[in-house]
Amino acid sequence: MSTTLPLAEVRERLSPIVTSVESTHERVVITKNGRPAAVLIAYEDLESLDETLEILADPDAAAEIRESLADPERFTIDDVRRDLETRRAGGAA
């Protein structure tokens, strides 16, 4: 779910808007001259999106996810996360 607000309103009410986004995880689409220009999302949500993109961009992690969908007993999401952390640290998974 998202809310759309003009930039002028966001400028006037930035602090309460940020507080709301942080607590509700609702996105705010910010318009400039009536067109979408930016999106305000909770930092935690951005981290989650970044992690998802990183996993999907890693061919080995993506393969593990596909395998886990075919055989849920083989891998868990925690297994994939551990493997990704190992790769980030420079080790072999």
User: SS in 3 state form for 46-71?
Assistant: HHHHHHHHHHHHCHHHHHHHHHHHHC
Say whether both 31 and 57 belong to one domain. no
pTM: 0.66
Least confident residue range of 12-16, 48-52, 85-89: 85-89
Say whether both 24 and 10 belong to one domain. yes
Say whether both 32 and 67 belong to one domain. no
Question: Is 93 domain-assigned?
Answer: no
What digits encode the pLDDT tens for the residues 19-73?
Answer: 999 999 999 999 999 999 999 999 999 999 998 888 888 888 778 777 777 776 7
